[in-house]
């Protein structure tokens, strides 16, 4: 299986699909969410799907109601304008890395095995994890691990990597893992390395920057009462989604008008986590969080 969709039924149900509606799947991947949406549309309905990964091309759906775009979802508004679609009824995003990307070890997303540190979702882009670990300054690396991985020992991590690369260019996962051996606590190695690789992957693909650009477009593309359903997998992106749905911005406090009244953009509809059965069947779903909001 290319990808086992997380919270599939819950996320699709949350969209309250209109049979003749227009929907956007921002992270097509294996096509699981798009296929479920299509089942609930009539012949007048439409779904537009985005994915930068060329591997997702093999999963395109042969249906006249389906449009696939091998582009980053930050170009949402641009493409809707191209197709002369003014507003949509709903959108869904399943953020992070697909099972397929993790399982194809040569893509470099996993800390397991001896694989080249690539981590690019779009293999045509120039920067990869090798370039980052070997060219970023010690301070820049420390900031990366602190902000992208919530790693409080980010300075120590950065120094170890920089000291290691003085003698050898870090090109693969074994070398990166080896550079961090002095701080790999027995029993917690996997959890720690997962955060290291998450931090680098976020930087390689500018995931936080792209997510912010996407969120800012949502109020402009949804119809009144249109629904946005977003699945996150780590606290950094989840905080952004939560704050934007709640406050209309990325700050801790909501925006207010000149009279001090809070500007409310969304009505928060749902917050859902996978149940025990789903986590047992798909352990990668354990950190998933689905947040759903309706445009007022």
Token output for 255: 């925006």
- SS3 of 161, please? helix
Please report which residue ranges of the chain form alpha helices under DSSP H.
8-14, 32-39, 76-82, 99-103, 129-135, 138-149, 154-165, 173-179, 189-204, 207-221, 235-247, 276-281
Quote the CA–CA distance of 295 and 268 in Å, as a whole number: 9
Q: Which residues contact 46 (CB under 8 A, 6 or more apart)?
A: 21, 22, 23, 65, 66, 67
For residue 244, the model assigns a pLDDT of 96
pLDDT in tens, 37-78: 999 999 999 999 999 988 888 999 999 999 999 999 999 999
Return averaged pLDDT per consecutive 10 residues of the chain, 296 residues in all.
81 98 96 96 98 90 97 97 97 85 80 91 93 98 96 97 98 97 93 95 96 98 98 94 94 82 90 95 91 97
Domains of the chain and CATH, by start? 8-99+207-295 (3.40.50.150), 123-204 (1.10.150.170)
- SS3 of 131, please? helix
Quote the CA–CA distance of 25 and 92 in Å, as a whole number: 5
pLDDT in tens, 9-44: 999 999 999 999 999 999 999 999 999 999 999 999
For residue 28, the model assigns a pLDDT of 95
Alpha-carbon distances, residue 46 vs 58, 172, 201, 228 (angstroms): 20, 43, 32, 16
Quote the CA–CA distance of 1 and 177 in Å, as a whole number: 29
């Amino acid at each position: 299986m290319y990808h086992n969709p997380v919270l599939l039924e819950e996320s699709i149900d949350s969209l309250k699909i209109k049979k003749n509606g227009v929907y956007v799947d921002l992270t097509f991947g294996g096509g699981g969410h798009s296929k479920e949406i299509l089942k609930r549309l009539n012949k007048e309905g439409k779904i537009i799907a985005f994915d930068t990964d060329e591997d997702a091309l093999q999963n395109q759906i042969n249906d006249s109601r389906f449009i696939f775009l091998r582009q980053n979802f930050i170009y949402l508004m641009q493409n809707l304008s191209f197709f002369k679609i003014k507003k949509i009824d709903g959108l869904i995003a399943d953020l992070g890395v697909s099972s397929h990307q993790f399982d194809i070890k040569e893509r470099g997303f996993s800390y397991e095995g001896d694989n080249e540190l690539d981590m690019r979702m779009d293999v045509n882009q120039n920067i990869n994890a090798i370039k980052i670990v070997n060219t970023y300054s010690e301070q820049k690396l420390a900031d990366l691990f602190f902000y992208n991985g919530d790693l409080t020992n980010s300075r120590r991590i950065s120094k170890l990597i920089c000291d290691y690369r003085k003698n050898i260019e870090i090109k693969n996962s074994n070398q990166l893992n080896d550079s961090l051996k002095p701080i790999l606590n027995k029993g917690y190695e996997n959890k720690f390395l997962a955060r290291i690789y998450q931090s680098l992957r976020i930087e390689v693909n500018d995931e936080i920057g792209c997510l912010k650009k996407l969120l800012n477009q949502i109020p402009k593309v949804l119809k009144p009462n249109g629904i946005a359903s977003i699945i996150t997998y780590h606290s950094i992106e989840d905080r952004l989604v939560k704050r934007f749905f709640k406050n209309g911005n990325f700050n801790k406090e909501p925006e207010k008008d000149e009279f001090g009244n809070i500007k409310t953009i969304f009505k928060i509809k749902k917050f859902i986590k996978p149940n025990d059965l789903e986590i047992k069947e798909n352990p990668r779903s354990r950190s998933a969080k689905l947040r759903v909001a309706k445009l007022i």
